[in-house]
A and B are shown apart, each in its own frame.
Chain A
Amino acid sequence: MSRVVVLGLDGFSPELAEIWSEDLPNLKKLQQQGIWGTMESTVPPTGPQTWTCAQSSRNPGIFGFWDFSYRDDFSYGEPRSANCTVRDKRVDCLHKILPILGQKVAIINVPLTWPPPRIPGGYSISSFMTPSLDKGFTWPESLKDEVYHLAGEYIIDAKEEGVNYRQMEKERVLKRIYDMESQRFTLLKHFISNKQCDYIFTVITGCDRIPHLFYHYFDEQHRRYDPDSRYKNALHDYYIWIDKQIGEVWDSLDGETVLFVHSAHGVQRLNGLINLNEWLIQEGYMVLNEYPSKPAPLVELSVDWSKTKAWATGHIGQVYLNVKGREPQGIVDPDDYDSFMDELADKLIQIPDEWGDSLKTQIFKRKEIHSGPFAQYGPDLFILFDECRWNISEMAGYGQGSIYSFDTPSGPDDGADGLYGYFCIAGPGVPASGEHNGAMLLDVAPTVLDVMDLEIPQEMEGKSVLGEKKPARPSEDDEKMRSRLKALGY
């Protein structure tokens, strides 16, 4: 029975890891000693639900989040913000499952953990959704003194008071991300060395933030590629730094602990945004009482719901149908639901990029990918344009028929979340079986339980990546060992 340290690297990309593999010796070493590969994320591959899917091995329909905002009625729009309290009522993540099984747990900077979960006998340090340090960010509360002692002024997020990280000066935000993640690694190593936890889960957000900010300095195909910038190597250097940190974490582990590194999604070049509501208006599926004078989000649009058949939200591509008897002013007849969805899908697939080329659009019907008590409130369609290299904007007012835009509402963005993340697991009991195909984000929780020799609950939807590869160690052996040692006085 091994202990586990899970290092969540938010948007760590398997492609970049491969391109730069010679510069990432620690990751290479880990791969040689364990199992690794790409890890398919959830649809959509973004937002706080990805970490929940990983930690609960349940699909978003079980807990009703598919992005940062959600609805749990049939209102127009997504009025609620995904939050820890609601999530923890609806689904059991490892930080809730493991303490019940007698395991000592610590979680550091895990998205969607504010207020900090009160883990029995364990520890939590909340994540970037923490409103402010004064409002409490640790469990037990006294843990904050240890955090301050080790980290100094603790940085919850790269953003600064009132300034989104996309709008910060590059040098400043880069330094701040390094400072922030250095603190996380210091805390992680402190927990490994001093807290005797059975399970520690830390998320490093910089792996997501840095590409969002610095991708265009490195990628020649990026619309805003800047070859002469001093930030040309910023992303590369950050990967090297992360690799060094992984090496230090690995070296600090005892021989009973498994290290499991994984990302929640990949990262890639963001080509642009499809203004999806603008397109719905153009196609006559959405009708406004008044077209806005400047781009405005859905909540500010004056929509004539009695004439609207569909609307879009989010930034990846969530489309809701306005269904009669479901939404307050629904007009799509439930009998026509499927045929209308097919019609819409056929047209969405034909949206080209700005040069007229195919976007290789993938369309997922909700009922095909999400199931559970809260699935019904979710979008009817999820649309991935060019494997997410094109996101969407839900704003309208760019000008009639203007369906492309290039800046996100919060500023210029370089990176897009990708459907395929990365994983690598190594340590005692993990065979050195090399590259593994077909791993999913939902496999994370079962894998952790498997490594810890704990029973995997039946309702979990993923399976352990150790699969049949895990060397069997019957619990009879554990029992025998315990009784022998006890008889010797240990």
Chain B
Amino acid sequence: MKNVILLTIDTLRKDVLGCYGGESFTPFIDSIQDNCIRFNKAYSPGPYTQAAFPGILTSSYYLEYGRQKMLSERRVLISEVVKKGGIATAGFHSNPYISTYFGWNRGWDVFYDSMEEEVNDKVPYIKADVLNKKVHDWLKSCQDKPFFLWVHYMDVHEPYVPEWKYIEIVDPSIQIDEEEMFRLFRDVVLKRDVSDKEVVELLKKLYCAHVREIDDGVKEFFGILEKDNLLKESVIIITSDHGDEFGEHGGLSHDGKMYSELVNVPLFIYEPSREKTEVCDILVSGLDVPPTIVYLFGLDSVDAFEGHPLIPLEDYPTRGAFGEAVDKHGSREKGEEKEVHYYLEGDLKIIYCETDDSWELYDLKADPKEVNNIIEISSVAETMKQKVRRRVRRYQA
């Protein structure tokens, strides 16, 4: 039986990856595609970490079990399931929202969330190189095979203060120092100020430099596995919790919006025995990650999981994808827990925002940028609304 490794990259947009048609900022990830199933229509169940990770690690939706910062005891973590199956589990990351503090350490034999480390304002997390070292140390000490390893990189997340060499790769004409990058984060990103298009474009480039940086981090990680003769023994699931916005829908960063730049995420399953890319156009969800891991380890399926195993692909059912979040700006929630929902079926995506009780419907095939709202003219608007309506405030009185 193979090891299963879940590699998640915070804030990674799908469309910046070369293999998804973006510019070539991800040479390494692009280079391993022959060994991958690549999902074109993978959707995160939420547009920010707190809304997405209940899907990725517990196969449940954010607003279920009462909305919470603290992970509900009633959710089942994939780590708990795997550990119960007698398999070693380890998690390494640096995202506070999924740390021990909020209860995400359940079920991991080894859990590193970096909260003990000192970080600085420009890079307020532990970067991939340090994380890789810790993972390497654990791999060397881990006698149990197979194992389940989860690594989550933060390196793409704002503040966009990438190393100089990566900025040069993205655009050598950029002249900017660290202080100025940090000022842009404070004065532009935090304020969601998209009034200056050139600045937004610059921010996007800095973001892409972050992406180029993490591609090196992933490369280093694969190098470690190769060196330790583990790469051939492992199935690696690579995905992201959400994307990032650069003015596409009037904002920056990742708040409670449900457009593609935030919820259409990259997803690959790297299988060492595979020799040719399999491109998958089936609609799948972040909630499918835990059941896939359960399947790969040959464990009994878990009733509480709401997703479906991605493998074998031919057994995957045709179904819609849901996502839900609370409308917010940064950490501040708008109004009193106003919900935002989306539902995607075929090429149609409906979005409901409770804050202004508004509905949007997009035909992603004809309108991939989601700018032509056809809610008033579509004949299926009402059917689509019905799908979402029953989910709004469903966990409340």
What is A's interface to B at a CB cutoff of 8 Å? 2, 33, 186, 189-190, 192-196, 248, 251-257, 428, 473, 477, 480-481, 484-485, 487-490
Contact = CB atoms under 8 A, between A and B. Distances in A.
Contacts of A428: 70, 73, 103
Contacts of B67: 254
Nearest to A192: B397
Contacts of A487: 119, 121, 124, 159
Given A477-B101, A487-B159, 18 more contacts: A2-B70, A193-B396, A194-B336, A251-B66, A251-B395, A252-B396, A254-B67, A254-B68, A256-B68, A428-B103, A481-B101, A481-B115, A485-B96, A485-B97, A487-B121, A488-B157, A489-B189, A489-B190
B158 A488 contact: yes
Contacts of A481: 96, 99, 101, 115
Contacts of B69: 254-256
B348 to A, nearest CB: 30
Contacts of A257: 66
A193 B189 contact: no
B65 interface: yes
Given A189-B396, A488-B96, A255 B71 contact: yes
Interface in B270-325: none
Contacts of A489: 158-159, 185, 189-190, 253, 330
Given A252-B397, A489-B185, A477 B66 contact: no
Interface string B87-124: 00000000011010101000000000001000101001
B66 A252 contact: yes
Contacts of B395: 251-252
B66 A255 contact: yes
Nearest to B123: A487
B373 interface: no
Interface string B63-82: 00111111111000000000
Interface in B120-170: 121, 124-125, 157-159
A489 B70 CA distance: 19
Contacts of B96: 481, 484-485, 488
B253 to A, nearest CB: 6
23 contacts: A2-B70, A192-B396, A192-B397, A193-B396, A193-B397, A194-B336, A195-B336, A251-B66, A252-B397, A254-B67, A255-B65, A255-B70, A255-B72, A256-B68, A256-B70, A484-B125, A485-B97, A488-B125, A489-B158, A489-B159, A489-B189, A489-B253, A490-B330
B70 A480 contact: no
Contact of A480 (B66, B115, B331, B336): B115
Contacts of A254: 66-70
B64 to A, nearest CB: 10
B347 interface: no
Contact of B337 (A2, A33, A196, A488): A196
Contacts of B99: 481
B397 A196 contact: no
Interface of B: 65-73, 96-97, 99, 101, 103, 115, 119, 121, 124-125, 157-159, 185, 189-190, 253, 330-331, 336-337, 393, 395-397
B70 A186 contact: no
Nearest to A188: B397
A488 B119 CA distance: 11
Chain A residues touching B, majority SS: helix
B185 A196 contact: no
Nearest to A187: B397
B70 A484 contact: no
A196 B68 CA distance: 12
B73 A33 contact: yes
Given A33-B73, A196-B337, A485 B331 contact: yes
A151 to B, nearest CB: 13
B397 A190 contact: yes
B115 A477 contact: yes
A261 B337 CA distance: 25
Given A254-B68, A489-B189, A248 B331 contact: no
A60 B362 CA distance: 65
Nearest to A255: B68
Which of B96, B97, B125 gathers the greatest number of chain A CB atoms within 10 Å? B96
A193 B336 CA distance: 8
Contacts of B253: 489
A248 B159 CA distance: 42
B331 A193 contact: no
Nearest to B74: A255
A403 to B, nearest CB: 51
A202 to B, nearest CB: 13
Nearest to A428: B70
A488 B96 CA distance: 9
Contacts of B337: 193-194, 196
B227 to A, nearest CB: 32
A394 to B, nearest CB: 45
Contact of B397 (A186, A195, A484, A485): A186
A233 to B, nearest CB: 27
B252 to A, nearest CB: 10
Nearest to B68: A255
A485 B115 CA distance: 11
A178 B190 CA distance: 50
A33 B72 CA distance: 13
Contacts of B101: 473, 477, 481
